[in-house]
Amino acid sequence: MDLQNKVAIITGGSGGLGMAAAKAYLAKGAKVAVFDLQEGDAGALAEANPGQIKYYETNVTSEENVAANINQVVEDFGAIDVCINCAGFGPSAKTYSSRKGPHPLDQFQNVINVNLVGTFNVLRLAVEKMSANEGEEKGVIINTASVAYMDGQKGQAAYSASKAGIVGMTLPIARDLAELGVRINVIAPGLMGTPAMMAMPEDFRQGLERLVQYPKRLGQPEEFALLATQIAENPYLNGETIRLDGAIRM
Ligand SMILES: NC(=O)c1ccc[n+]([C@@H]2O[C@H](COP(=O)([O-])OP(=O)(O)OC[C@H]3O[C@@H](n4cnc5c(N)ncnc54)[C@H](O)[C@@H]3O)[C@@H](O)[C@H]2O)c1
């Protein structure tokens, strides 16, 4: 897909990886709709790029909120061609801790709800709009998992389950959407140097960097964004999960 003048929704677009993807898509000449709970830097980016990017206050877990905003994007920009899901979070809790007791069930359910159900909620409604597009290739979906979908650590039961769910639903969705001409792929980042990660104490960060094979550093949000453009641009890439992790195995 040539991204020039295409329209991309980016959930979590006010965050580290989503914002980098928004900038990369703008640089390709695409228009960007940021779906996030908070505006963050999306407001400043919209001021610097009038008519090219807009922030929509969105909770990805809400059917009504997402449906209304998807309709608004089509009204504002005319279509939806790409759906990038970055909204997510990963609070840590052990399955059982002798100090804190069993993992709070509502916390487990909330992580699944935002990371997995929220991703599916947005993509299913975006696909409805993609189906109205002209041409053979009608749309591209890019979901964000994590290497924790395979290599989850202590305290990551909920997060890893949510990310494994994102990977697990990819092939059936690719099959469901093949007749429409919509592709779906997943990026599974390793440790990325987002602003939040870079704000951690330096010795802690260096400890993490030692786990990476090569290049021996955290990934850059721009490298995530580069892959998010390459996935859209390569028409034969479908149903795949790509680790973007410097060969880290945690
Ligand atoms: N940064 C990393 O090292 C890393 C590694 C692997 C995977 N990931 C995944 O990449 C994605 C983006 O990570 P990030 O580092 O940019 O995180 P981030 O916290 O900087 O951004 C996440 C964004 O999602 C938004 N969000 C959270 N819940 C939402 C909801 N219910 N509705 C709408 N928006 C919501 C937040 O407001 C935030 O702006 C996440 O899914 C994360 O799990 C990140």
Which phi and psi angles does 83 have, rounded to 5°?
-130, 110
Ligand 1, CB cutoff 6 Å, lining residues: 11-12, 14-18, 36-38, 40, 58-61, 86-90, 114, 118, 144, 146, 189, 191-192, 194, 196-197
The whole-number pLDDT of residue 197 equals 87
Ligand 1 atom 37: residue of nearest CA? 37
Residue written as token pair 């909330």: 110
Q: Which of 25, 55, 149, 159 is catalytic?
A: 159
The whole-number pLDDT of residue 153 equals 95
Ligand 1 atom 7: residue of nearest CA? 146
Closest ligand 1 atom to Cα of 118 = 31
Residue written as token pair 């359910």: 109
Q: How far apart are the first and last CA of the chain?
A: 34
* CB-based contact 27:50 (threshold 8 Å): no
The whole-number pLDDT of residue 250 equals 84
Peptide bond between residue 104 and the one before it cis (omega within 30 degrees of 0): no
Catalytic annotation on 149?
no
The whole-number pLDDT of residue 187 equals 99
7-240 CATH, one of 3.40.50.970, 3.40.50.720, 2.60.120.10, 3.30.70.1290: 3.40.50.720
pLDDT digits (tens), the chain, 250 positions: 999 999 999 999 999 999 999 999 999 999 999 999 999 999 999 999 999 999 999 999 999 999 999 999 999 999 999 999 999 999 999 999 999 999 999 999 999 999 999 999 999 999 999 999 999 999 999 999 999 999 999 999 999 999 999 999 999 999 999 999 999 999 999 999 998 888 889 998 999 999 999 999 999 999 999 999 999 999 999 999 999 999 999 8
The whole-number pLDDT of residue 111 equals 98
The whole-number pLDDT of residue 149 equals 98
Ligand 1 atom 19: residue of nearest CA? 15
